[in-house]
A and B are shown apart, each in its own frame.
Chain A
């Protein structure tokens, strides 16, 4: 039935294994940096979205709708192929010295994911009873400090499950960075396939690595969740 001779050796050792490994390394780097930045940016956008200053709220609203409702791939192309035309020559010269593919991918993944994270955090904040804010304000906390010490720590704990989702999406979406030439895992798997015509093995390996990565992130956040959230509920 099958005439295909599997050769798993090419993806478990040797040159191609090293290619995949370096791809994994880049994927992890790209995802980790973008997750941290997307979370921070998402937090800021969520706060702006709830601001009492109308223009600030409108800006955040526009940001959210814009970046959630356009394809990530288009955004990535925009940052990579489009944005440098807006920048001064001198800046471009500096960027050319750096790994601009990587930077553009980080920008695209960060901004795109931050829009989703902001909405998750906002619904988390809204689920905290307003009496928590009142209690903190009554003790003399300013609005911002009450958010920082009382409301947000609770809201973010509630937001953990949807946040895991966004982190996983970001990690998987990072594979799109291959289209602008970032040598991440999918890019390297593709390379292996091109050199060896062993697409089955190369992409099976990439699939398993992504799966392991996702499960690892889930486990990590769940562990944190157990340690902190359970205690809060008194379990």
Chain B
């Protein structure tokens, strides 16, 4: 579904992605973790070309992402992207946030798009907020709407870029619950997160990155009990017991 082959990316002199090889199969949930500045956000942002790659091959859903001939807008309709800061459209109601792209990009009829949006709002537990504006919602609610907005395009892949990092602790659970539900429905997902509980429970694989390099790629149980790389051991120690 997603295949990186020797992918490199530089920001000026900074080598943010270094020889990335990664294969995400259909229906798989891959959690990407690592210290800040390790390149993990950049990695998932290359998947829908929010960041172009400089070298190597990246194939998503059978299409070469960096190929100029690839219809990037079409590819993006197949890939949902959830941001750390939610990025809902503040000038539109919750319902219109969700129906905008299906109506304007997918050319779905208005009524059908609304019915579908209501079903999604139901799924994320926010059907009573359909007419609210994003500024009237809590962070957790906004993120759940953002997830519903992405799902409205019926994507084949969902990408999450630190979806709970901007949330108050008591709202993290509600967002993770929605993501877990989504994972169980068979969605192909790449999730950049520090939520190790979620990773352990939901992920099929953990990818650990540092300085633009994938240092470890293992099943959660193995990763958490016996991380191989020294940086991974240190990272886990810090993140699991931040007081020490």
Contacts and interface: CB of A to CB of B under 8 A. Distances in A.
A139 B135 contact: no
Contacts of A153: 91
A60 B50 CA distance: 28
Contact of B79 (A138, A149, A233): A138
Contacts of B83: 131, 134-135
A139 B101 contact: yes
B104 A149 contact: yes
Given A137-B76, A142-B73, A231 B87 contact: no
Given A145-B104, A231-B133, A234-B133, A139 B77 contact: yes
B136 A141 contact: no
Contact of A141 (B48, B90, B101, B134): B101
- Counting contact residues on chain A (CB < 8 A from B), the size range is 20 to 34
B240 to A, nearest CB: 31
Given A131-B85, A134-B87, A138-B48, A149 B133 contact: no
B101 A232 contact: no
A132 interface: yes
B74 interface: yes
Interface string B116-153: 00000000000000000111100000000000011001
B87 A135 contact: yes
A176 interface: no
B198 interface: no
Contacts of A142: 73
Nearest to A128: B90
Contacts of B88: 135
9 tightest Cβ-Cβ pairs between the two chains A and B: A234-B135, A140-B77, A139-B101, A135-B87, A138-B81, A140-B76, A234-B136, A140-B105, A131-B87
Interface of A: 129, 131-132, 134-142, 145, 149-150, 153-154, 157, 228, 231-234
Given A135-B81, A139-B149, A141-B73, 6 more contacts: A131-B83, A135-B83, A139-B105, A141-B101, A142-B73, A232-B135
